[in-house]
Amino acid sequence: MNGFASAVSHTANDQTEQDEWRDALASLVANAGPERARQILDLLAREGSAPHIDWKPRHGTPYVNSIGVTQQPAFPGDLATEERLASLVRWNALAMVVRANQAYGELGGHIASYASAADLFEVGFNHFFRARHEGFGGDLVFYQPHSAPGIYARAFLEGRLSENDLAHYRQEIGGPNAGARGLSSYPHPWLMPDFWQFPTGSMGIGPISSIFQARFMRYLQHRGLQDTTDRHVWGVFGDGEMDEPESMSALTLAAREGLDNLTWVVNCNLQRLDGPVRGNGRIIDELEALFGGAGWHVIKLVWGSDWDALLAKDTDGALVNTLSNTVDGQFQTFAAKDGAYNREHFFGQNPSLARLVEGMSDEQIDRLKRGGHDMVKIHAAYHAARRVKGKPTVILAQTKKGFGMGEAGQGKMTTHQQKKLDREALIAFRNRFQLPLSDEQTESLSFFKPADDSLELRYLHQRRQALGGYVPSRSQVAAPVSVPPVTGYAGFATAAAGKEMSTTMAFVRMLTHLLKDQALGPRIVPIVADEARTFGMANLFKQVGIYSSVGQRYEPEDIGSILSYREATDGQILEEGISEASAISSWVAAATSYSVHGLRMLPFYIYYSMFGFQRVGDLIWAAADQRARGFLLGATAGRTTLGGEGLQHQDGSSHLCAATVPNCRAYDPAFAGEFAVILDHGMRQMLEQEVDAFYYVTLMNENYPQPSLPEGVEAAIIKGMYRLQGAPDAQVRLLGSGTLVREAQAAAQLLADDWQVASEVYSVTSFSELAREAREVERWNRLHPQATQRVSHVNDCLPKGAPVVAVSDYVRAVPQMIASYLDSPYTVLGTDGFGRSDTRAALRDFFEVDRHHLVLAALTALVEQGSLARQVCQQAIERYGLQAEREASWV
């Protein structure tokens, strides 16, 4: 029998053989070093995975810290002072939330999340989160949203917020009335534009945004626009948050791009809002396998320093085995119980565990910290993360939700909803963190700030000065970028003279010209999901290239073509694959560059309009919150302009969604000249006048003759509508938007030829802009009853008189936005219902938005006004072959 066969014949519990293998590995490490040991283990792993053995390594590592005691750097700060600072911040955060809810029970707020993350943040604030200052752009930090009270509490100690500000937490209306700053519930740049940089309150948005901000920093670096070499992106997120699709969707991109400028800290307090994240498993193990498989460097920060001695004494592995076999639901129970309970139910599971804590009191057992509450361990993890090269890092930090809240909330199922504490709980919290508060101050929830010359505050300011200033902080300082004259890049559109093209084609041509502009061109960021060829942008591949952090390592199949696919490290196009979430995240990174990097960029993200607002609406709201500036272009727009694709590709609702976003200006131009005016206006607003708005413009793939732009209509186009043809004394007024303007023009001709009815035709470039301005005028008039009453643009164009018929390639609710502001009879046609696959003509007949249905609607309006006999409508139905008994499109 050979040696291998002999080894196989041994029983599985042959401890001698197992010890020999362990000794061999230990000897290899001792004599040849860890690097050689890793090489040998990699070799054995390859051999073991051969088909005839079919071995695969287990995912994950033992449930202990990734960084051993001997690998820890010396803690560089004053640990005792930092712990006192963390305790003071904890108290002020708790007092802020509890006071608000004692006064106003409906305000809400969260205590437990920051209680679990306080030390994770404090180490970052004291040693790692660098501020933007002269010559350095600063680090980017994404804050766990439910921890906002703690961030405010620290800003209070820094002197950036007052006690009165804290007293008006979540009172953004009442606060200013009381001479205070109302503090927003979560990080909201729109509401606190000099404080918060990124909105993270919608779970999953922060994680994906942080990845694309880190990637955009590399993009700026590789294109030579800004030196971002030493800047870092930090994200502190929750373990429950990792279940959001957005949290996970770009992990492989971060690894593929080698984003070693990115570190996530996942606060694994093991609880969601209602209970455990993984009650029957271990979320840290799951995340370790997930991130490791995606190519991230994983650092597990599980146990605090007090556990080091216990683990050192664990010679038979009983402690490690027990930790590795205890599920999170049970860990939550242990977190909620005291030292006596943990002695009996955890360490009492077997004699080996019991011996480990024989010399410890119940209080010492109760004080055993999890890794995310130990500043020394946290610093070691952060220090290691900053030195990882070639890949992003995730730190999985185990904490206790509601840490320090004792019986009132630590580890409880209800801890997320805990907003009030009784006297005993407050006193216990004070004692637990040794706060310098009297019983009366504690019970009254007094905010506490040490004297300015105290050791704590002097230390706090020194640390922040060493890191460049205070965070979070947001700046809008960025040098302006000049916009070229519209005639230079869009003269072909404003003076089209009947040349046939689609508005999508016109946009691409304008973009091509703009990219060549010496000042603006380098600041443009073209973005597509995976449809550049569909939108006719393939000519840009060679002109400006597709960004790739590694260049192009292959010879493209179409290398001989003038439109060949070209990737380059200095490429300008961001092509994000089949992922609208990735593309919009890239757009947000570029659209906020003026604030994040002090560099004004102009992103154009073009996509199928149907895959826009409804697919990534949460990210668009986040963009609005952080005051994004750029263009979103909904191409192949409308429900009847994209003939053959059918239901899930035909957009009838994006303009309705866009109208709900306060700083989104949405337009549906019919003609290339109209688009040129909107493009010029938007660029000047965002780049030159620093207006915090972004533009959604729909583009069509339908080719038709483009008229030259009439003189003097530019202002009216921006306001939302202008007269195309006809006289003000017409019998009926027709409004069209997008490609259906041409149906309105055709209907006007039919009304004149077949029914001798004179029409006035308007091109409506934006129903939402018309409605907003009319709403503002209506409000002003209501609040100023004795002043000269103002007239809105829509009423100026459409005064009381002839009936109005509007048609849109979107649901009727879009043109109905202006209905309440009109004094004339108003009829609306739209494309309500599911889309269909067919020709444009068939679709427009089906949705009853073509010229013939417009004629019928106009005649019906005149009948209702008493201007025509009712039989005229029946004659029109018969003349145009309209199907009166067909079911409506929305049935």
List the beta strands (DSSP E) in 167-208.
none
b/e burial code for range 376-396 (CB count within 10 A of at least 16 → b): bbbbbbbbbbeeeeebbbbbb
Residue 340 CB: number of other CB atoms within 10 A? 13
The residue type at 296: W
The residue type at 468: G
In sequence order, the β-bridge partners of residue 757 are none
Which DSSP state fits 818? Answer: G
β pairing state of 262-268 and 393-398:
parallel
Cα 582 versus chain centre, distance: 10
Residue 38 CB: number of other CB atoms within 10 A? 11
Interatomic CA distance for residues 124 and 144, integer angstroms: 13
Cα 211 versus chain centre, distance: 10
- Cβ-proximal residues to 66 (8 Å cutoff; 6+ apart), any chain: 298, 299, 300, 301, 381
Interatomic CA distance for residues 218 and 250, integer angstroms: 16
Which two three-digit tokens encode residue 734?
């027709």
Interatomic CA distance for residues 282 and 620, integer angstroms: 34
Interatomic CA distance for residues 641 and 657, integer angstroms: 19
Which two three-digit tokens encode residue 93?
């955060």
Cβ-contact 811, 830 below 8 angstroms? yes
In sequence order, the β-bridge partners of residue 568 are 547
CA distances from 535 to 227, 539, 608, 810 (A): 33, 11, 9, 21
Is 271 marked within a binding site? yes
Cβ-contact 97, 110 below 8 angstroms? yes
**Which candidate, 890, 844, 838, places its Cα nearest to that of 646?**
838
Interatomic CA distance for residues 86 and 460, integer angstroms: 11
Which two three-digit tokens encode residue 77?
């700060």
Residue 665 CB: number of other CB atoms within 10 A? 22
Q: Half-sphere exposure of residue 15, counting CA atoms within 13 Å on the CB side?
A: 1
**Which candidate, 589, 484, 609, places its Cα nearest to that of 547?**
589
Is 417 marked within a binding site? no
In sequence order, the β-bridge partners of residue 697 are 633, 667
Instruction: Starting at the earlier edge strand, list the strands of the sheet with 140-142.
Output: 140-142, 233-238, 262-268, 393-398, 297-301
Is 230 marked within a binding site? no
- Cβ-proximal residues to 618 (8 Å cutoff; 6+ apart), any chain: 202, 204, 205, 246
β pairing state of 233-238 and 262-268:
parallel
Cβ-contact 877, 686 below 8 angstroms? no
β pairing state of 602-608 and 631-635:
parallel
Interatomic CA distance for residues 434 and 416, integer angstroms: 24
**Which candidate, 860, 875, 749, places its Cα nearest to that of 804?**
860
Q: How buried is residue 479: exposed, middle or buried, by Cβ count under 10 Å (0-12/13-18/19+)?
A: exposed
For 119, phi and psi rounded to 5 degrees?
-70, -35
In sequence order, the β-bridge partners of residue 234 are 141, 263
Q: Cα Rg for the chain, rounded, in angstroms?
A: 33
- Enumerate the known binding-site residues for Mg(2+): 239, 269, 271
Known binding site: residues? 239, 269, 271
